[in-house]
Structure 1
Amino acid sequence: MAVWKRLLLALTATLAVTVLLTALPHAGRRPAEDGRDLAVFRPVTVKRLGSDNLVDSMIGLRLSLKLKKVDWKQGVLSADLSAENMPDDLAAWMGDVQRMLSLAFAQTDNVSRVLLRIVEPMAVQQGAPVQPSYRLLAAVDVRRTDGWLPADLSRVGDANPVADAAWRAKLRMTLTGDVIRRFGSAAGGDGEPVPGTTSGL
């Protein structure tokens, strides 16, 4: 009879320890007011761009133009976007410029400058190397310290820097003569490259 008592006592002790060990991890957890568990990690509104998340950040932008090259160095984000599939869609160009600037200056806190080039492939001559070469169409240079960013960043996608000198100045945008002819001459209507643009590379 004594053996059964000792066995029952040992079984009861084992069961009590098991229950205690199961409940221990939850002892310090405080339920949320609505009855759900609190999240262990909270969303971070600002992230730091770096070589470890550069590619994922670019993919997440869902750019309309083709990303041909991207570089991250000492706070400067630079990229080449190819307009080969959208050569005449200025709205698509500017939409991508806005996405890049928003990533750099609204979603991160460690990008000091963005350098963008919009390019297109040059016609491949017979017998030329398979690797295509690109010619410059437009270039953008924007810095975190630019005073217009807080008020006007969300308007970049609707801008027409070909016709609007103010936007060319804000974006430090350089346009080639081909872009001027392609999208119509800027104010003045002479069809020549406007101040801040170049007719060649």
Structure 2
Amino acid sequence: MRHWWSGIALLALGVCVIVLLSLVQPAASPQAGSAADRLFVPIPSDRLVDEGLVDLLDPLPLVFGLDRVRWEPGILNVDLSAKTGVERPEDLLGDAYELCRASFERVTNVRQLLVRFYAYDGGRTAMLASADLRAADWAELGGGLQGDGTHDATELLKNRMVWTATGREWLANFAF
């Protein structure tokens, strides 16, 4: 009979210990998050690799839609397309500017950025313009503003943009 009382007493003691331990809050540092929070945080990198293309391009506020992105060591190829029909030439230059900033300022191993802009017209795809941009040219600008408040980069992008015949027709629809 004594065996039963000692077993019940041990069980009651164990329940009391568990309840008391559940009431005590562990001291956690305010910087420590859950494992799930740390799992999906992008790892900052100063070099572009195949696995980092999404982390580089996803947060960009691009008006033109991304069609294709290809990374070869030192060369980033990006194809963008006007799918909604409301894109303007300013949007085209703005997207090229954002891609340059991401490619040449956020990572260090992109030497050349090739950007092609397409439009869909009646079920067929037509290239509007392309640009071959170099990191050395971007570094010369320094990201500064001109005296009139415009970016030096806008002039670089306009000078580096090569327009196709379809692109010139598209451009003629706007006061550019």
Question: Could you say which TM-score interval applies, normalised by the shorter chain?
Answer: 0.5 to 0.7
| Residue equivalent to 2:32 | 38
Instruction: Give the unaligned 5+ runs of structure 2.
Output: none
Q: Spell out, residue by residue over 1:15-43, the C-alpha distance to the aligned partner (whole angstroms, 9 max, x if none).
A: 366469869xx4xx5433xxxx6335396
**Relative contact order (alpha carbons < 8 A, sep ≥ 6): 1 or 2 greater?**
2
> What is the one-letter code of the residue matched to 1:72?
W
CA RMSD of aligned residues (A): 4.4
Taking the aligned partners of 1:83 and 1:108, their CA distance within structure 2 comes to: 27
Q: Does 1:173 align with 2:160?
A: yes
Shift of 1:103: 2.5
Once residues 113 and 19 of structure 1 are traced to their aligned partners in structure 2, the CA distance between those partners, rounded to angstroms, is: 63
Opposite residue 160 of structure 2, the aligned amino acid is M
Query: Would you tell me which structure has more helix in proportion to its own residues?
Result: 2
Tell me how far apart the structure 2 counterparts of residues 45 and 149 of structure 1 sit (CA, whole Å). 26
Sort the Cα spacing of 1:81 and 1:17 in 2 relative to 1 into closer, same or farther, 3 A. Answer: same
Q: Map Cα deviations across residues 160-185 of structure 1 (whole Å, 9 max, x no partner).
A: x3xxxxx25xx861423754973679
Q: Indicate how the Cα distance of structure 1 residues 6 and 56 shifts in structure 2: closer, same or farther if over 3 A, else same.
A: same
Q: Which residue of the partner structure matches residue 199 of structure 1?
A: none
SS of 1:79's equivalent in the other structure is strand
Aligned residue pairs total 161
| Mapping 1:97-108, distance limit 5 Å | 97-108=96-107
Other-structure match for 2:14 = 14
- How far is the alpha carbon of 1:98 from its aligned partner? 1.9
Residue 78 of structure 1 deviates from its aligned partner by: 0.9
Structure 1 gaps of 5+ residues are: 125-129, 162-166, 186-201
Distance 1:118 1:21, change over 3 A: same
TM-score, normalised to structure 2, is 0.60
Deviations 1:44-90 (A, max 9, x none): 68345443453565444242123332211214221122346257x22
- So what's the TM-score if we normalise by structure 1? 0.54
Alignment partner, residue 142 of structure 1: 134
Map 1:1-201 → 2, pairs under 5 A: 2-15=2-15, 18=18, 26=26, 30-32=28-30, 38-39=32-33, 41=38, 46-47=44-45, 49-55=48-54, 57-83=56-82, 85-86=85-86, 89-120=88-119, 132-143=124-135, 146-151=139-144, 159=154, 161=155, 167-168=156-157, 173-176=160-163, 178=165, 179=168, 182=172
One-letter identity of the residue aligned with 1:51: D
- Contact persistence 1:46–1:108 (CA under 8 A): no
Q: Distance in 1 between matches of 2:58 and 2:161?
A: 26
